[in-house]
A and B are shown apart, each in its own frame.
Chain A
């Protein structure tokens, strides 16, 4: 079974520039999560999709962050414009649909450095 794919793995941009990250979840996984992980901290949920609908985006800084999952499969997360404090690893995870004890499967993450 293929894992969660993310690209790019690394990105360096200057502040005020824009950047986009891509995630392809495990086939058949209806739930997709984007997390921000700052060095030394646990993953912080940015947005959660169920198929192509948003379930939770309460912690997404909507003035600069956006995300979509148009066909209920892969997803993109965009930051525009980036700030220095956006430097972090952006993790994508997917999970089977349902209320069972299904774990999340994580991708390798995209390490973003904003200079």
Chain B
């Protein structure tokens, strides 16, 4: 069965620090990849997605992610985080109609 792994469970950063959250998936076929964010008290919303083409995808709020097929990875990055980026971040892989979510990474940004 397909699975998604997020190795960073809790990350604490100071404002302006750079961010990289790891995501690995286990599926050898065609897969679409997503990063979702859940701000405190809000519902899950899409940050960015990859399905083909340029492996470096840009999303909202200055986030980007790089798809590295050889490493089965789709890491999320942001060069300079803000206090408002404090949230839970979920990586998800999609094949057909099925979605597989990672366990999430809790990011706390200290002003």
Residues of A within 8 A of B (CB): 31, 33, 40-45, 48, 50, 55-56, 91, 93, 95, 99-101, 103-104, 106-109
Q: Closest CB of chain A to B58's CB: distance in Å? A: 15
Per-residue CB contact flags for chain B residues 40-62 toward chain A (1 = under 8 Å, else 0) read 00111110011110000000000
State the majority secondary structure of interface residues on B. strand
A106 to B45, Cβ gap below 8 A?
yes
A91 in contact with B44 given A42-B103, A42-B104 (CB within 8 Å) = yes
Instruction: Report the tally of A-B residue pairs with Cβ distances under 8 A.
Output: 51
A107 to B103, Cβ gap below 8 A?
no
Q: How far is the CA of A40 from the CA of B98 in the complex (A)?
A: 22
6 closest Cβ contacts across the A-B interface? Answer: A101-B51, A42-B101, A106-B44, A101-B32, A108-B43, A42-B103
Query: Hey, which chain A residues are within 8 Å of B22, CB to CB?
Result: none
Contact of A48 among B44, B45, B90, B98 (CB under 8 A): B98
Q: A101-B49, A108-B42 provided; 17 other pairs, C-beta below 8 A?
A: A31-B97, A40-B104, A41-B103, A42-B6, A42-B90, A42-B102, A48-B98, A91-B44, A95-B97, A99-B96, A101-B50, A101-B51, A101-B94, A104-B92, A106-B43, A106-B44, A107-B43
